[in-house]
A and B are shown apart, each in its own frame.
Chain A
Amino acid sequence: DQQVKQNSPSLSVQEGRISILNCDYTNSMFDYFLWYKKYPAEGPTFLISISSIKDKNEDGRFTVFLNKSAKHLSLHIVPSQPGDSAVYFCAASDFETSYDKVIFGPGTSLSVIP
């Protein structure tokens, strides 16, 4: 049973426009959420995170929104750049009981078209 879902396997966006990547989760015990970016032949790299006590976290061009009641989060990239083309993984953890055990979604492949 997939606890973290990313229902869009791929997304194409024009350079300069907004990219919105969505993620849904089923486990209500999750209280910490992360986004990772992965380029081919490299390991995932941390991008941005959000605690369940917040509904928004911003870091430069990247903003993550969390809707706890809907068990939904999204990553906004504005403006999108060609270098943002990568696979993006949404991940979650239950901070209290499984601090270091991170559950990943299947990923969304983002293509930013120049």
Chain B
Amino acid sequence: DAGVTQSPTHLIKTRGQQVTLRCSPKSGHDTVSWYQQALGQGPQFIFQYYEEEERQRGNFPDRFSGHQFPNYSSELNVNALLLGDSALYLCASSHPGTGQETQYFGPGTRLLVL
């Protein structure tokens, strides 16, 4: 079992550009959540996807959008990048109704915006 995988592992972009991050959930999981972890902070909930729809959303602007595909994999898109978007982006997968303790995290994608 590969667990949760994310790509790419690292990424450098410049202000104003757009970025797409990808996540493949753990086998058997159909729910994907995205988190942003800034340096020295805990992960902050961006949004969650289930059945290809956004189910819940945190306090993030519309520049942050996502998508879930029929195979349950997911993408996080960030438009008009700002310096403050530099962070580790974590994807977590779970199966609804099984509790947050069964939420498995990927290793993250580290994004640097210059």
Contact = CB atoms under 8 A, between A and B. Distances in A.
Bind each other: yes
Interface of A: 4, 6, 9, 32, 34, 41-46, 49, 89, 91, 93, 98-107
What is the interface of chain A mostly: helix, strand, loop, or mixed? Answer: loop
Contacts of A104: 35, 42-44
A24 to B, nearest CB: 13
Nearest to A107: B42
B44 A101 contact: no
B42 A101 contact: no
Contacts of A43: 4, 90, 92, 104-108
A103 B45 contact: yes
A101 B90 contact: no
A91 B48 CA distance: 17
B110 to A, nearest CB: 9
B106 A49 contact: no
B105 A101 contact: no
